[in-house]
Structures are given as C-alpha cells and as structure tokens.
Amino acid sequence: MRTALVQTYHPYTQFTHVHPLGIMMIAAVARQEGFPDMHILDMKVEDWMPERCVDELVKLAPAVVGLSAMTYEAGCLHEVAKLLKRRLPDTFVVAGGPHPSVAAEDVLKDPAVDFVVRGEGEFTFAELLKGLEQGRTDWSECMGLSWRKDGVVTHNPDRPPPQKLDEMPFPAWDLIDHAKYHKVPRGGVIYAHKEFATMFSSRACPWRCTYCHNSYGKVFRERSAEHVLAEIDLLVTKYGVKELVFMDDIFNFRPARAKAIAQGIIDRGYKLALTFPNGFRGDILDEELVVLLKKAGMYRCMVAVESASPRLQKVMQKNLKIDKVRKIVDFIASQGVMVHGAFMLGFPSETEEEMNETIEWAATSSFHTAAFFRVIPFKGTKLFSQVEEAGHPLPTDWSAYEPYKSEINLSAVPEERIFELRKKAYRRFYWNPKRLYRIFSLIPQKRNMIPYLTLLFARRAYAR
C-alpha cells in the first residue's frame, strides 16, 4: 500500500510556509499502524503546479494519494485529483485537511475524489488504509469518513479527536527534505536561523471567536512538557534545528505546562531561537512566562488583538480585555522581545470610526510590527454561517477565500474605503522613527530581513 501524501498549494500574495505537520502526522500514525511505505510531497515548498505534482506522483505509482488543502487551496486539490485519475485511474484519491473537513459534500461532487477524511484524520486514514488493503467496500463503520454508498455521498459520524497526545508519534520528520525549508520565508516572516522546525505542543483553543477555524474543535488538549522536550531533543540532535516556530492556537492556555517547556529548554542549554507567530492570548499571558520564554530563546511573538472596539470584541465573541493586552505588550517589549500585533478590518456592522479606532490603538501601542488583515468568513466558522443566514452572497470559487485579500465585505464601509484604510494603517503604524529604531535594534538577520520587510511594507502601504 504505497501511499503519497500531498500538501497542495495556491500561489497567494504572501508566500510564507511552515512544515506540513498535518500530513507528517498522518504519515507517522500510518507507519505506526503497519504501513511503512509512506511519501510526502509538499507542492508549496517545491513551488509545483498541479501538472508537475502529478508527474512526480506517476513516478511513485502509489496505491493511495492523500491531498490536504486549506479553503483557498481547494482548486489545486481538485486539479491534482483530476489529472491523477486520468493517468493513474486505479489509485485511490483521499482528500483531507481544513477545507475537506468542512466541505466534504462539495469535495465529493468531484468524481476524481474517492474519500474525504474529516477532522483530525490520523486514525481515520490508518483505518482507511487497512480497509483498502483488505478489499473492503462498505465503510459504514469508519468514523470520520465521507464516501459514496451506492453512488450517494454518505457522511459517517465524526470520529472523536485523539485525547492522549503523548501516545501519538512525533511527526514524520524523516520524510521531508529539511534543507528545502531553509530557503523559503516561514510563517511569521522574520527569522533568526534558517535551520528551523515547526511545532504543535497542543491542539485546539477553547474560545469561540466567530471568524476562527474549528479544525481541532474547542476542547484544549496538550502534550506534556516531557513529550514536547523529547521531540525538541530529536530535532536538535538529529536534524540540526536551531530555531523553533510554535504554531499552537494558544500556547499559554496552561501556564504551568508552558513554563515547564521553557525551563526544559533552558536546562538543556541548546541556545535555541523561539518564535510564536500564532499562539498567545494576551489577556491571560503572565509576566513570569514571558521572562522564562525570553531566557529560553524567545525573540519574537504575536499577540492577536483583531479590534480595539469593545463592541466588536463582543460581535466576534473574542471578548478580549484590551487594557490587559496593552499592559502585557508593554511588558514583552520591555524585555527586549519583538512583539507583533494582528488586527482585522471588516467585521459585520463595523464602521469607519471603529476601524480608525483600531488603527490608532495599534499605532500608539508598544508593538514592534503589525499586520492589518481583512475579515474573511471561512467555511466551517460561525461567521460563515452567520453570513449565509443573512443571505449575503458568497463566492463559489474557493480561491477567493485567500487570506490576504477579500472581495467579501460584511462591514458598513465600502470596499474601496477599507482598502485605503488598510494602507493608511500601515503608514500610520510604521512611519514612526522610534518604532523603526526599535525594530532595527532587535531584528535578527538584518542584511536579509530589512530589504525584504521594506518591500513588504511598500506593497501593503502603497499598493494600488
């Protein structure tokens, strides 16, 4: 049962990448369950279009191909599936990842896709491989699977997500070419060392923000500090990793565990660089953890604010305590750690006054860097359901849900004006000599980073 797992790719406006941990975990569990002939193809790091990817798949001649996709990568998923079926018609094509998990019905309209694995698919996929090997035709008992029964799309009950993450293997780090990831901009853009690895130390976030994905559900599950540190040992000693990029939705939800991880890194003396481009919730982040993480090697982190409007915090159901966030951002900055702010414009009913309130709040904060995104109602989020129920027209082309621009306007402000306000936000935030000096003082890899960031700023602040 030779199996190839493919990370699909849509060339969007901000080319950044992280290791494809989703399919790396699928491969690791499949091997643990008795399927050693696993292969990983990452179209994004290879910069492949569908035709080239299928050429490589034909060389491998796998019995099963798994295609993972975000919403804006759905077009690529279907193109690869169609081309593959023409050339290897007997190969089983399985779709999984964030988009197929919430749009299985839509994905299975494509006859080139045989199955959809929904949710956290490690054990569903392993069960599927076992059944295919045995010639199974009735999949009614395979939880988490969507398939066609007598030509009719059928969705089996959801499979409960794995609870004991320490009992799962590490991602299949041996199945990727590490050096290729050293050459692409990674998530978070700024880096200290090219030799990096991406990590999840936990899954899910218990908050219920309307715009946020539901890929891991809303029940926080954690790996123990010991399990995380064991993977770090492997990455450092076997693969020469010098920088860790933690992608947790909310790394600091259990402070004691987070502090134990930081202390373990300190005790090992690895001198790693640490960055957190996703996972801090600012109003529950404590100063002791910040100090420990700085000592462990944290040079940059992100705190997501989204909006400075108390009304919109309620609308988006994030309910962030803005005053607490400002204080912890001040503290992080005082420790010599670069802190990045994430903001969004275009929430349902948002006014221009509220957008300007957010821009001004960001510009007067201690954030070193910031990004101002458009609000996008991804399928599977509460926001998507709200928009559908309101009868708002939504694009049928999934590539329109690309995360750095949008034609979907849910606010009270015309789209052209939001575009101008986003440009204004970047100029208002960055045209500050004190802020520019603070960035220059702390930014690593100045020779490489400053020209790149200058170009990025120009594109966002002055693009037409």
**Residue 165: strand pairing partners:** none
Whole-number Å distance between alpha carbons of 72 and 253: 29
> Averaged in consecutive runs of 10 residues, what is the pLDDT profile of the chain (464 residues)?
94 74 98 98 94 98 96 93 97 96 95 97 97 95 96 96 95 96 78 93 90 80 97 98 94 96 97 90 95 98 95 94 96 97 94 97 96 87 85 77 71 91 94 94 88 80 69
Residue with tokens 């954690």: 222
pLDDT, residue 435, reads: 95
Whole-number Å distance between alpha carbons of 157 and 146: 9
First to last CA, the chain: 51
Whole-number Å distance between alpha carbons of 143 and 117: 9
Q: What sections of 301-411 are H helices per DSSP?
A: 310-315, 322-334, 352-363, 382-389
Residue by residue, DSSP assigns 141-196 as T-TTEEEEETTEEEEPPPPPPPS-GGGSPPP-GGGS-HHHHTTSPBTTS--S-SSE
Cβ–Cβ < 8 Å for 65, 55: no
Q: How far is Cα of residue 376 from the mean position of the Cα atoms in its chain? A: 15
181-462 homologous superfamily: tm_1862 like domain (3.80.30.20)
Whole-number Å distance between alpha carbons of 420 and 418: 5
| Same-fold call for 3-155 versus 181-462 | no
DSSP symbol at 398: G
CA-to-CA separations, 118 to 85, 101, 314, 351, in angstroms, rounded: 22, 4, 30, 37
Structure tokens that stand for 90 in this block: 């007997």
Choosing among 3.30.2290.10, 3.40.1310.30, 3.40.225.10, 3.40.50.280, the CATH entry for 3-155 is 3.40.50.280
Planar angle of CA 353, 358, 359, nearest 5 degrees: 95
pLDDT, residue 318, reads: 94
CA-wise closest residue to 190 among 274, 250, 304: 274
Whole-number Å distance between alpha carbons of 199 and 217: 18
Domain ranges of the chain: 3-155, 181-462
Q: What's the alpha-carbon Rg for the chain, to the nearest Å?
A: 22
Whole-number Å distance between alpha carbons of 205 and 279: 9
- Residues sharing a CB contact under 8 Å with residue 331, sequence separation 6 or more, in sequence order: 287, 290
Residue burial 166-185, b: 16+ Cβ < 10 Å; e: rest: eebeebbbebbebeebeeee
Whole-number Å distance between alpha carbons of 244 and 142: 36
Looking at this protein, which amino acid is placed at residue 177? D
Cβ–Cβ < 8 Å for 343, 358: yes
pLDDT, residue 402, reads: 67
pLDDT, residue 164, reads: 95
